[in-house]
């Protein structure tokens, strides 16, 4: 548990979009999926999850519908809308650019300057 | 596309939030429950016992309510949500203190109502242009002797020689007897040039309009266009009226059209019955249109300026035409500075603007006073609620949120008050716009409220809501919750209530200004009522007739009028019967001036005239009938007729300006423009002729037998009941000619017209002054009641310790009285400084009048007493036992 990374501000939405893009999920499933795809390195605070989900619904990036879970429980499932898919692509590109830039900045050696 | 989609989902989110509130809550509960159960199952699978798994899942999830709240916030539309909460809370708080609420709403309703009415008047008279197409470019002009008085030939020259107007139309008044079969009645209309409707770009509601093509010389176009209102009231919307023949002053005219409903003539405050071509005016009123040297032909000429022509350029153009006319017709035309302005108000524009501006300033003061009043009310309320505010702060509410709440309450009050005020003022404005102050004059105030009035009133209400709502802001921002909660409600208020004190002083000062203004107005009116007008309007009856209305010709006028005088003289109780041509002094705003030359002047042209006195042509008994004092010389006699030498009487002003003194005047001569020599045979006292506010003016009185006209007024002096007398007079005159329309009015009632502006001003200022008084009462009362209630304990202790009534009162109310005195004094000084503003509004406005000063001081003192009466009673009746037990 000690090697968990701090979630950067603003990245929660991105993670949720990514998690949901792999297949419709209910809220708890989103938590599990993020844990799973980040190798348990990223853990979302449960209280922050639902406001973020509602916000994404409001922005029209996710849509929600009630359904049945794998173990026959009623749950609300979230999936990406077209706008959500587009947003995810943009955010991922943006993130990669940023990560590459920061990575190269941090790897700079004295002789390269 | 995506913007649209995201907007849609945003709105959907808000809609879900507001429309399906309960369902949404249940939905969230379901979702959270399913989350916790899923987590619990996972834990169970990992080997945790069922009960423990559920407990752990719930703990891991954290505060469900907070999550729900946060999720709820995330759905958007929080502004409305908070607003809804605030409004609900505000309504609850206001309902908890109904007296505060009612007081605040009424105060604001009063102020907003006053401002809405004043704005309605401004909107109707000043802002709203004449209701015709392209009125922004429509200018009226007048030149020659006086604005509003020019001759038809001068109009024709202006029309044809100017380079500024696309076309120039003109109109004059036509007061006629109109006979549509049966009973002839008086009707008030405009005689207009043929192009009148074309220049205005109007289209008939029914039938057709006449045009320039109909003008083919004098009396060539006997057509009538009815106004919509007259068609409606007199002809009951009868569409078959087109083509009908009617008699106008006994001459046949054909009704050809009805004007559109929204058009009632080119004067704002007059609504006319009909329009007729000016080329037919001669047969109707017997006066030729061809005379250039007259001032009776045209009331106003107007037209659209050509593209690119500025008003200043047009004015210069009109002046140039005037200069040309003066060169060409030096005997008949005296050039004066021309006038150019918006059509609809003509030369009345300036006094009306000044009046409206004065009113606006005063109404603004009322609103300021009301805001100050409400501001201090809200401040003391905030102080009363300091514990509530402190608790909320202590519990983690933000100051912003609390201020928002307080402001919401203020805005709530302002909206309710604004709506109440607006409703009242709309009712009043509607009344005003249908009001006909004089049955015989077509005066009409176009002040029907429109959208602009509603918007301005509500905006004013909102702005004042913010104004008085932010008064307690500092108080809340500085509040220290720990101190307040510790100390209890009573302790916080020290002697420092400076903001409120300043507000109260300011408010009282404003109210004192208003009270001063209304007192000044009332004094001015009383003075106008009692000023010496040079005749005695009491006990005298005016009998108006126009012989052309019964078909008489020029040669018959004098003889018929003499017979009328003799007939009326036989009525028992008629002491004196005189006659004056056209209108008597101070009637219907009518009066005509004449250029008078010294005897030695040989180059007779208007520019060389010695003075331009008012001219009246009267009968021998006139001065007796009017009770005008003869100062020197002799009265007119029946021998001063057409065959006798030309004679006249002058008034004192005339005598002194022409000949130096009254004594010198008798027996001397003067000349008219046409060279006629006239001898002065007597001098009478000065009087008022056109308005009560005019400076002493010269006037001459010639024998009516030497200048016969069709229209005249008999002046009958009698102490009999006016109604019976009028009936007798009608009987007598109908004995001479049963077809002659006769108007009877007391001279005093005619003065009502002259006094109308002063009366209206006094009424307006009186009402505003009353409002000021009411506001200062509520302000002082609020302050006094509050300070008494806050110091009840102290007062109770003092009473228990044997304090004397005087001291108690001094403690309780001394401050209120101090503030009142300071405020009143400031208001009085301001009022005196504001004389100029008042002078716009009322005649003889001078607050330096000792009576006014004393009146204001006494009024403010009385108001103070009245306002502190109840709090004082309360302070004295404090029962220390009950009070001390309470805390």
Tens digits of per-residue pLDDT, B527-544?
777 778 888 888 899 998
Hey, what are B586's tokens?
Answer: 């101070």
CATH number for the domain including A89? 1.10.10.10
In the predicted structure, residue B841 carries a pLDDT above the cut 60: no
B384 shares a domain with B303: no
Give the structural domain span for B663. 540-718
In the predicted structure, residue B635 carries a pLDDT above the cut 90: yes
Q: Looking at beta carbons, which residues of chain A come within 8 Å of B66?
A: 47
pLDDT band with cut points at 50, 70 and 90 for residue B811: confident
Query: B88: exposed, middle or buried (C-beta count within 10 Å: 0-12, 13-18, 19+)?
Result: exposed
The residue out of B281, B310, B343 marking a domain boundary is: B343
Q: Which pLDDT belongs to residue A1?
A: 39
pLDDT band with cut points at 50, 70 and 90 for residue B274: very high
In the predicted structure, residue B350 carries a pLDDT above the cut 70: yes
Condensed to tens digits (0 to 9), the pLDDT of residues B448-468 reads 888 888 999 999 999 998 888
Task: Tell me the CB-side half-sphere exposure of residue B436, using CA atoms within 13 A.
Answer: 8
As for how many domains chain B has, the answer is 4
What phi and psi values does residue B591 have, to the nearest 5 degrees?
175, 140
B513 shares a domain with B591: no
* CB environment B551-567: b (16+ within 10 A), e (fewer): ebeeeebbebbbebbeb
Q: Which residue in chain B is spatially nearest to A48 when comparing CA positions?
A: B67
Beta bridge partners of B171: B192, B300
Q: Which pLDDT belongs to residue B16?
A: 65
As for how many domains chain A has, the answer is 1
Rounded to an integer, what distance in angstroms lies between the CA atom of residue B618 and that of residue B651? 14
Q: Looking at beta carbons, which residues of chain B come within 8 Å of A26?
A: 34-35, 38
Q: Which residue in chain A is spatially nearest to B77 when comparing CA positions?
A: A58
Look at B71-80, B252-261, B392-401, B867-876 and tell me which has the smallest mean pLDDT: B71-80
B293 shares a domain with B151: yes
Condensed to tens digits (0 to 9), the pLDDT of residues B602-630 reads 888 777 888 989 999 999 999 999 999 99
Of B721, B722, B720, B742, residue with least CA distance to B731 = B742
B86 contacts: CB under 8 Å, gap ≥ 6: B404, B405, B408
* CB-CB contact of B243 with B255 (8 Å): yes
pLDDT band with cut points at 50, 70 and 90 for residue B859: confident
B5-19, B221-235, B280-294, B829-843 — most confident range: B221-235
Q: Do A73 and B62 touch (CB under 8 A)?
A: no
B41 contacts: CB under 8 Å, gap ≥ 6: A71, A73, B53
Q: Do A52 and B74 touch (CB under 8 A)?
A: yes
Report if residue A3 sits inside a domain: no
Q: Do A26 and B37 touch (CB under 8 A)?
A: no
Q: Which pLDDT belongs to residue B148?
A: 44
B305 shares a domain with B360: no
B514 shares a domain with B550: no
B400 contacts: CB under 8 Å, gap ≥ 6: none
Rounded to an integer, what distance in angstroms lies between the CA atom of residue B583 and that of residue B648? 18
Report if residue B410 sits inside a domain: yes
Rounded to an integer, what distance in angstroms lies between the CA atom of residue B570 and that of residue B575? 10
Hey, what are B360's tokens?
Answer: 């606006």
B683 shares a domain with B589: yes
* CB-CB contact of B371 with B468 (8 Å): yes
Give the structural domain span for A87. 11-108
Q: How many CB atoms lie within 10 A of CB A88?
A: 19
pLDDT band with cut points at 50, 70 and 90 for residue B422: very high
Q: Do A47 and B5 touch (CB under 8 A)?
A: no
Beta bridge partners of A78: A25, A64
Rounded to an integer, what distance in angstroms lies between the CA atom of residue B537 and that of residue B524? 19
Q: Is B33 on the interface with A (CB under 8 A)?
A: no
Of B759, B819, B821, B838, residue with least CA distance to B514 = B838
Give mean pLDDT, residues B209-233: 91
Q: Do A57 and B5 touch (CB under 8 A)?
A: no
Tokens 């009815």 -> residue: B226
Report if residue A70 sits inside a domain: yes
Percentage of chain B with pLDDT > 90? Answer: 24
Q: Which helix (H) or strand (E) holds B42?
A: helix B21-45
pTM, entire model = 0.67
B748 contacts: CB under 8 Å, gap ≥ 6: B537, B538, B540
Report if residue B96 sits inside a domain: no
Q: Which pLDDT belongs to residue B147?
A: 47
- The interface residues of chain A toward chain B in range 56-85, judged by CB-CB distance below 8 A, are 57-60, 69, 71, 73-76, 83
Q: Which pLDDT belongs to residue B112?
A: 92
Condensed to tens digits (0 to 9), the pLDDT of residues B706-720 reads 888 888 999 999 988
Report if residue B93 sits inside a domain: no
Q: Label residue B408 left, alpha or beta by phi (over 0 means left) and psi (-120 to 50 means alpha).
A: alpha
Report if residue A95 sits inside a domain: yes
* CB-CB contact of B592 with B287 (8 Å): no
* CB-CB contact of B394 with B484 (8 Å): no
The residue out of B39, B61, B76 marking a domain boundary is: B76
B613 shares a domain with B648: yes
Percentage of chain B with pLDDT > 70? Answer: 90
The residue out of B293, B319, B343 marking a domain boundary is: B343
pLDDT band with cut points at 50, 70 and 90 for residue B490: very low
Report if residue B660 sits inside a domain: yes
Q: Is A89 on the interface with B (CB under 8 A)?
A: no
What is the distance between the terminal CA atoms of chain B, rounded to a whole angstrom?
A: 67
Q: Which pLDDT belongs to residue B306?
A: 93
Rounded to an integer, what distance in angstroms lies between the CA atom of residue B253 and that of residue B232? 19
| Inter-chain Cβ pairs, chain A and chain B, closer than 8 A | 84
Report if residue B748 sits inside a domain: no
Angle B443-B447-B451 from CA coordinates, rounded to 5°: 160
Report if residue A4 sits inside a domain: no
- Distances, alpha carbon B410 to alpha carbons B150, B475, B786, in Å: 58, 15, 19
* CB-CB contact of B856 with B828 (8 Å): yes
Tokens 């022509």 -> residue: B309
Report if residue B735 sits inside a domain: no
Q: Which pLDDT belongs to residue B522?
A: 79
Angle B849-B852-B854 from CA coordinates, rounded to 5°: 110
Condensed to tens digits (0 to 9), the pLDDT of residues A39-90 reads 888 777 777 888 888 888 888 888 888 888 777 778 888 989 998 899 899 9
């Amino acid at each position: 548990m000690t090697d968990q990374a701090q979630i950067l501000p603003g990245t929660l939405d991105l993670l949720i979009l990514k998690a949901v893009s792999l297949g419709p999920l209910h809220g708890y499933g989103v938590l599990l999926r993020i844990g799973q795809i980040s190798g348990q390195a990223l853990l979302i605070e449960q209280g922050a999850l639902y406001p973020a989900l509602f916000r994404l619904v409001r922005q029209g990036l996710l849509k929600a519908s009630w359904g049945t879970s794998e173990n026959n429980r009623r749950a609300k499932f979230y999936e990406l809308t077209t706008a959500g898919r587009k947003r995810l692509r943009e955010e991922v590109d943006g993130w990669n650019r940023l990560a590459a830039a920061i990575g190269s900045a941090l790897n700079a050696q004295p002789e390269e300057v | 596309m995506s913007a649209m989609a995201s907007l849609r989902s945003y709105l959907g989110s808000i809609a879900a939030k507001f429309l399906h509130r309960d369902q949404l809550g249940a939905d969230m509960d379901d979702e959270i429950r399913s989350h916790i159960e899923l987590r619990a199952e996972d834990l169970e699978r990992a080997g945790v016992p069922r009960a423990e798994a559920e407990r752990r899942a719930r703990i891991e999830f954290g505060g469900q309510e907070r999550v729900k709240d946060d999720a709820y916030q995330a759905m958007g539309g929080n502004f409305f949500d908070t607003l809804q909460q605030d409004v609900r809370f505000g309504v609850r708080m206001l309902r908890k203190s109904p007296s505060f609420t009612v007081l605040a709403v009424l105060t604001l309703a009063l102020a907003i109502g006053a401002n809405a009415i004043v704005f309605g008047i401004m909107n109707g008279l000043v802002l709203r242009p004449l209701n015709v197409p392209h009125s922004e470019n429509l200018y009226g002009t007048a030149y020659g002797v006086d604005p509003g008085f020019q001759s038809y030939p001068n109009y024709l020259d202006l029309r044809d020689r100017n380079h500024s107007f696309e076309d120039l139309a003109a109109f004059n008044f036509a007061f006629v007897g109109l006979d549509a079969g049966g009973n002839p009645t008086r009707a008030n209309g405009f005689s207009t040039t043929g192009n009148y409707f074309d220049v205005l770009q109007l289209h008939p509601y029914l039938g057709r309009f006449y045009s320039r093509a109909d003008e083919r010389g004098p009396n060539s176009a006997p057509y009538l266009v009815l106004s919509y209102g007259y068609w409606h009231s007199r002809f009951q919307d009868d569409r078959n009226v087109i083509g009908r023949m009617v008699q106008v002053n006994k001459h046949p005219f054909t009704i050809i059209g009805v004007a559109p409903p929204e058009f009632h003539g080119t004067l704002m405050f007059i609504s006319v019955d009909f329009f007729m071509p000016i080329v037919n005016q001669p047969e109707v009123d017997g006066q030729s249109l061809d005379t250039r040297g007259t001032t009776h032909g045209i009331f106003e000429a107007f037209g659209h300026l050509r593209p690119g022509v500025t008003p200043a350029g047009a004015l210069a153009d009109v002046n140039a035409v005037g200069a040309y006319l003066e060169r060409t017709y030096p005997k008949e035309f005296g050039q004066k500075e021309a006038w150019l302005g918006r059509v609809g108000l003509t030369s009345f524009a300036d006094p009306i603007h000044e009046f409206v501006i004065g009113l606006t300033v005063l109404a603004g003061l009322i609103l300021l006073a009301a805001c100050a009043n409400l501001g201090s009310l809200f401040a003391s309320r905030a102080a009363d609620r300091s514990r509530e505010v402190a608790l909320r702060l202590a519990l983690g509410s933000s100051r912003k949120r609390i201020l928002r709440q307080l402001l919401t309450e203020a805005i709530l009050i302002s909206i309710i008050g604004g709506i109440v005020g607006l409703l009242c003022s709309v009712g009043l404005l509607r009344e005003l716009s249908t009001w006909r102050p004089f049955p015989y004059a077509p005066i009409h105030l176009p002040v029907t409220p429109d959208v602009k009035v509603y918007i301005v009133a509500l905006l004013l209400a909102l702005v004042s809501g913010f104004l008085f709502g932010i008064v307690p802001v500092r108080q809340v921002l500085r509040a220290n919750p720990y101190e307040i909660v510790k100390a209890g409600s009573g302790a916080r208020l020290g002697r420092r209530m400076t903001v409120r004190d300043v507000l109260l002083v300011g408010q009282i000062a404003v109210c004192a200004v208003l009270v001063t203004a209304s007192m000044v107005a009332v004094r001015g009116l009383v003075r106008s009522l009692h000023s010496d007008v040079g005749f005695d309007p009491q006990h005298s009856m005016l009998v108006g007739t126009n012989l052309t209305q019964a078909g008489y010709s020029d040669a018959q006028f004098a003889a018929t009028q003499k017979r009328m005088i003799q007939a009326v003289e036989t009525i028992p109780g008629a002491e004196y019967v005189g006659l004056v041509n056209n209108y008597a002094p101070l009637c219907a705003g009518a009066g005509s001036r004449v250029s008078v030359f010294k005897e030695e002047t040989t180059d007779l042209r208007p520019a060389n005239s010695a003075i331009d006195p008012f001219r009246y042509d009267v009968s021998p008994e006139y001065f007796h009938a009017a009770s005008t004092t003869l100062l020197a010389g002799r009265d007119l006699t029946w021998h001063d007729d057409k065959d006798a030498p030309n004679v006249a009487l002058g008034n004192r002003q005339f005598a002194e300006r022409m000949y130096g003194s009254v004594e010198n005047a008798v027996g001397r001569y003067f000349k008219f423009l046409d060279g006629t020599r006239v001898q002065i045979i007597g001098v009478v006292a000065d009087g008022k002729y056109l308005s009560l506010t005019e400076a002493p003016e010269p006037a001459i009185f010639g024998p009516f037998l030497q200048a016969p006209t069709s229209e005249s007024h008999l002046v009958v002096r009698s102490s009999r009941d006016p109604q019976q007398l009028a009936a007798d007079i009608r009987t007598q005159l109908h004995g001479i000619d049963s077809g002659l329309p006769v108007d009877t009015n007391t001279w005093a009632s005619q003065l009502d017209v002259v006094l109308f502006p002063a009366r209206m001003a006094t009424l307006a200022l009186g009402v505003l002054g009353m409002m000021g008084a009411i506001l200062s009462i509520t302000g002082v009362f609020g302050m006094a009641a509050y300070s008494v209630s806050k110091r009840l304990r102290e007062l109770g202790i003092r009473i228990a310790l044997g304090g004397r009534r005087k001291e108690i009162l001094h403690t309780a109310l001394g401050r209120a009285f101090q503030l009142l005195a300071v405020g009143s004094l400031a208001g009085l000084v301001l009022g005196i400084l504001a004389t100029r503003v008042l002078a716009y509004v009322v005649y003889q406005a001078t607050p330096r009048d000792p009576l006014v000063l004393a009146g204001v001081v006494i009024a403010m003192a009385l108001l103070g007493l009245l306002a502190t009466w109840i709090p004082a009673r309360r302070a004295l009746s404090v029962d220390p036992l009950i009070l001390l037990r309470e805390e």
